[in-house]
Amino acid sequence: MTVAAIGESQHRRALLGQPGGTTLTFDARGNCYANDRPLAGRCVRFSECKSAVYAWQQLGLLPVSCQWTPYDHFVCCPHGGYELPRRLVPPSEQICSEAYRRQPGPRTLRQPRGINHASAAKVFPGKAGRLVKFVAGGKPTRYAEFPYMCALGWRLLRPITNNEYAFKCGGVLIAPQYVLTVAHCTRVGGESPSVALIGGVELNNSRAGELINIQRITPHPYYDGVSSNNDLALVRLERNAYHSIACLWRHGEVPLQPLTALGYGQTKFAGPASDALLQVQLYPLDNRQCALYFRASDALNQQPGPGQLCAGDNSGRMDTCQGDSGGPLILHQQHGQVRIPYIIGLTSFGGSCATGAPGIYTRLAHYVSWIENQIWRS
């Protein structure tokens, strides 16, 4: 029986209270309490309150109303007597909860022999007038500390050593078959990357990670190479990776706490790059404050847009630098025994490294809908 089966006069009588003067009080959490009976519940639609529907259909008893309108009837329904509509969990949130549901707390893994964090690698130039960024003043990461970190590789036509690929950009694994990077990394020197090295391992030790061929690259349709707006791209791999993923940060606000930037790039401006994965701690900065640093530079001719994020280090010692755009900016949050990595941004561009000016990152929360539509559109 629907709400319409209860007459309007009976609705109004229920709203004012049952015979005997039943009235309701409410607390700050939205719970309702009757003054003359042991009724404590929540105001829900009559049709969603199983106990109220049964009492009316089988016993002819009126519910205690919270609110009545010509279109709807809300009743004080005892706790346990109603079913609230299930929240639709976004696919990226669901895959994150599955990945970190029952994992133990963080462990320090032993480092295999043969990994040399002090090794140097090739220097790859950035974009003219708008420098691609990488880690300066960073410290080495532990083996398998960031398993979702990726390096995008370009096949070398004439390998100088045993290395078949030049790793010029970073990325981050967000689903078993998908890597996020920045749009300006989709073509470097007129060529697109052909492989992704996953696992946050040394670049000259690809056997320690997963080297997977790239099947397809989808840059954001509104990427602007001049302003670097919408600097985002999605990489589909030929097969699933077995490494852990990082989760997408869905909230517009970024907590004022340390963020971890990852990259393989130069350790100082115009200096050598690093084969080892490095990390630095940076802090988010308000976009209006950020614009002050770039006002006298052609690197940013306007205030950062809603899809961009500023982060830096006030001491000027730590920064992302040239050589590996697309690496993630990570916020770690503790949920019980599980430490979950959330991607706040992707390294996009900046000025000279480690000079006190912040770097510009692609703000992931602004693009979650686009990312989910690309991966889980069906």
Of 92, 231, 243, 313, the active-site residue reads 231
Count of beta carbons in the 10 Å neighbourhood of residue 15: 16
Of 65, 228, 274, 325, the active-site residue reads 325
194 is catalytic: no
Phi, psi of 289 (to 5 degrees): -65, -35
Q: For residues 364 and 329, what is the distance between their CA atoms, to the nearest angstrom?
A: 10
Any idea what DSSP says for residue 31?
Answer: E
| Number of DSSP helices (H) and strands (E) in the chain, helices first | 5, 21
Q: For residues 248 and 38, what is the distance between their CA atoms, to the nearest angstrom?
A: 45
184 is catalytic: yes
Q: For residues 181 and 360, what is the distance between their CA atoms, to the nearest angstrom?
A: 14
Going by C-alpha positions, the residue among 372, 289, 286, 279 that lies closest to residue 329 is 279
Looking at the DSSP bridge assignments, the partners of residue 279 are 139, 262
Contacts of 299 by beta carbon, 8 Å cutoff, 6+ apart: 129, 130, 131, 349, 350, 351
Cβ-based burial of 193 (10 A; exposed 0-12, middle 13-18, buried ≥19): buried
Going by C-alpha positions, the residue among 240, 265, 257, 245 that lies closest to residue 342 is 245
Of 184, 206, 313, 324, the active-site residue reads 184
Phi, psi of 34 (to 5 degrees): -85, 145
313 is catalytic: no
Whether 367 and 308 have beta carbons less than 8 Å apart is answered as no
Whether 215 and 288 have beta carbons less than 8 Å apart is answered as no
Count of beta carbons in the 10 Å neighbourhood of residue 360: 30
Angle at 376 between CA 371 and CA 377, to 5 degrees: 90
Token pair in block for residue 328: 């993630």
What residues are labeled active site?
184, 231, 325
